[in-house]
Structure 1
Amino acid sequence: MTDEALPERLARAIALAGPIPLSQFMAAANAHYYATRDPLGAGGDFVTAPEISQMFGELVGLWCADLWDRAGRPPAHWVELGPGRGTLAADARRAMAKAGWSPPVHFVETSPVLRAAQAERVADARFHESVASLPDDAPLIVVANEFFDALPIRQLVRGAGAWRERLVACQDTLFLPIAGPAVPEAVIPPGLREAEPGAVLEISPAQVAVMRDLAARIARQGGGLVAIDYGHEGPLTGETLQAVRAHGHANPFESPGEHDLTAHVDFTTLAAAAQAGGATVWGPVEQGEWLVKLGIDARAAALARHAPERAEAIVADRQRLVTGMGTLFKALAVTAPGWPQPAGFA
């Protein structure tokens, strides 16, 4: 498949059937993007928290081990959604083992390129195409770091007297957003129905479906989940769809499949989806606050003592995780009824 294949296919589909929802465009673009490359690192398009410092993955692992320990150390499975290169999992697994827990590892990943990178770091991980095939014989402790932000969104735009869904049209493989049909008023939160013309509301049925499914599994089987992502507590209006390429911003509608498309996560909606699935919700809290409560300062000091030549870099990494990303990124926890309150959410 050539790089031009996806734009050509999308252009042909639009020519035959008319403009498509933004969610369909985003799903197709991201599926191609992740299936054909490793986008992480200095030579890629973006860097995630686990790639900044081992401290992040280690603290996530200790969070998981602590939850498992205080739940009575049941047989359980460890799951990561969209594990990137497997960096977080490798660091988390090392920390969990030191805490006395070495669970089976499961990755929900569809990209063959990233699966290969993950297998190098966690050789015995079991791969899944979706959450549907995760084991149902024991509790699940799930990590979703920068996973929900890449799931498809719908954009609803306030027009003159009505809200309309944003569609994607095409002219000679030039893709552009246009106003589509009016949507029922019931779709819009009551407080936003009379927003100013031009206001944009982003919703993600895909995020809701995944969270509700996982929460129902956790409520039934036991366990917990932590979702870490950039976003807000909504509902809010505002357009957050963005494309990232070579560590810079790009046009989301240009060259679909050649850059990462993401949008801010509405943690209020995500929490409601988890509650609808029967689980208990904690947070959200800011990532920086969460990492400080988990002990990132003590871990940074220990690493600096062990490698004094890297002390300045370790401090810089800590600042980036706690201050740079610390307010924009948030953590939301989900637990089965009766499971203990997870660390960092007091």
Structure 2
Amino acid sequence: MERLDAFMARAGAAYYGQRAGLGRDFTTAPEMGQAFGECLGLWCAVTWQAMGAPSRVVLAELGPGRGTLMADALRAVREMVPQFAAALDLHLVEASPLLRAEQARRLAATWHDDASTLPPGPMILVANEFFDALPIRQFVRRGTAWTERFVAGGAFVEHPAEDQGEAPEGAVREVCEAGSALTKSLAARLAHEGGAALILDYGPAESGLGDTLQALRDNAPADPLAEPGTVDITAHVDFAGLAAAARDAGAAAHGPIPMGVFLQRLGLMARSAMLARAAPAQAGAILAAAQRLVAPEGMGRLFKALALAHPALPTPAGFEN
């Protein structure tokens, strides 16, 4: 028997260590079309300019997948803002040997097992669908008390837990301690050394109750507790909690806002239209992918964008009221 967060950490390490789930079990936004990564690359370039265009800046990505996002981002940056391309020092945080090999085919970078070893100095960081895979704890309201979920034999087992506040019978409260700790660490660094971080993921804008633990296999729902290491296990991101953690550590937090709004402000639809005109045979697929990214009924509302930044930086692009 093990606590849910320990189970998720073990299952996640096994999953990413043994198989590359991207495209097989799930598809992320960068894999849907190059405009996504290009827009984020230019967001990084504009942020670098707002930082005063330092001569050297760490450009980091957490959980880069196959390296598609960053490859698209750097292509746009080299074409549109070559000064930023010359100033950046690329670092990727990736623990999976399989995915590191995929990334190395596309990118020249320095790799890290976790964010704690990223080099000092001003930094721009991107985390797309990274926080959702971090392990969570789950607490359940039972009568006048709370229990915590453990996993044993492919099923939940509940044990008495510390008080989690008032809630209706059967309510589930999720706590992502790893996400809060990472956010505080990144925010403290940004507040001290300068820079910004962009987090894109799915979850509600406000903290709340609910069981969001889920798993995917072959792009279909699967049992998250059965056969650990064979499915992609995730949970919704508590964006309000991350923003509060960042402010507590001294950084400014902008958002969260719907990802569709953010991407439209960055010009994703206009860029997709340009790509469609340049490749008429793929135009339908290009425009359909862009629409899925921004439409409320697609990924545009469920997914959110949150920026953390040095307090002196102006409001990052895309987060203006």
TM over 0.5: yes
**CA deviation after TM superposition for structure 1 residue 168, in Å:** 1.0
Question: 1:46, CA displacement in angstroms?
Answer: 0.5
In 1, are the aligned partners of 2:205 and 2:304 still within 8 Å (CA)? no
For structure 2, the 5+ residue unaligned runs are none
Please list, as runs of the form range in 1=range in 2, the aligned pairs for 1:142-291 lying within 5 A after superposition.
142-170=125-153, 175-183=154-162, 185=163, 188=164, 193-291=165-263
Cα separation, 1, equivalents of 2:180 and 2:168: 26
2:5 to 13, 19, 23: 23
The letter for the 1-side match of 2:129 is: E
Letter in 2 for 1:150: A
Q: CA deviation at 1:235?
A: 2.3
Aligned match for 1:333, one of 292, 307, 314: 307
TM-score, scaled to structure 2: 0.96
Separation of aligned partners in 2, 1:142 and 1:60: 11
Deviations 1:38-87 (A, max 9, x none): 1111xx10000000010110111010001101221112110000000000
What is the deviation of 1:301?
1.6
Aligned-partner residue type, residue 117 of structure 2: S
Partner of 2:39: 59
Q: What SS does the aligned partner of 1:243 have?
A: strand
The residue number in structure 1 matching 2:110 is 126
The CA deviation at 1:194 is: 2.7
- The partner residue of 1:113 within 87, 90, 98 is 98
1:108-165 CA deviation, whole Å, 9 max, x = no partner?
Answer: 000000000000010x2100111111011x2110000000000000000000110111
* RMSD between superposed Cα atoms in Å: 0.9
**Identity among equivalent pairs (%):** 52
TM-aligned CA deviation for residue 311 of structure 1: 1.6
Given that 1:280 and 1:336 are in contact with CA atoms closer than 8 Å, whether structure 2 keeps it comes out as yes
What is the alpha-carbon distance in structure 2 between the residues aligned to residue 154 and residue 72 of structure 1? 41
Residue 180 of structure 1 aligns to a residue whose secondary structure is strand
2:25–2:217 contact (8 Å) kept in structure 1: yes
2:318 corresponds in structure 1 to 344
Cα distance in 1 for residues equivalent to 2:127 and 2:137: 21
Structure 2: distance between partners of 1:107 and 1:194: 41
Secondary structure of residue in 2 paired with 1:178: strand
Q: Is the 8 A contact 2:172 2:211 kept in 1?
A: yes
Cα distance in structure 1, aligned partners of 2:217 and 2:234: 12
| Separation in structure 2 between the aligned mates of residue 213 and residue 96 of structure 1, nearest angstrom | 28
- The aligned residue for residue 139 of structure 1 is 122
Question: In the alignment, does 2:265 pair up with 1:293?
Answer: yes
Aligned with 1:317: secondary structure? helix
Larger Rg: 1
Match 2:62 to one of 67, 73, 81: 81
Q: Within 2, Cα distance between the matches of 1:320 and 1:297?
A: 11
Q: Following TM superposition, where does structure 1 have runs of at least 4 consecutive aligned residues deviating by more than 2 angstroms?
A: none
- How many angstroms apart in 2 are the aligned matches of 1:241 and 1:250? 11
Larger displacement relative to structure 2 (302-311 or 82-91):
302-311
Amino acid at match of 1:50: P
Q: Secondary structure at the match of 2:300?
A: coil
In the alignment, what sits opposite 1:10? none
* Aligned counterpart, 1:8: none
CA shift, 1:296, in A, is: 1.0
What residue identity is the alignment partner of 1:271?
Answer: A
Amino acid at match of 1:335: A
Matched positions, count: 313
Q: How much does 1:322 deviate?
A: 0.7
What is the Cα deviation at residue 182 of structure 1? 2.3
Is the 1:287–1:329 Cα contact (8 Å) retained in structure 2? yes
Q: Check conservation: 1:200, 1:239, Cα contact below 8 A.
A: yes
Whether the 8 Å contact between 1:105 and 1:126 is mirrored in structure 2 is: yes
Normalising by structure 1, we get a TM-score of: 0.89
Secondary structure of the structure 1 residue equivalent to 2:144:
coil
Q: What letter is aligned with 2:114?
A: S
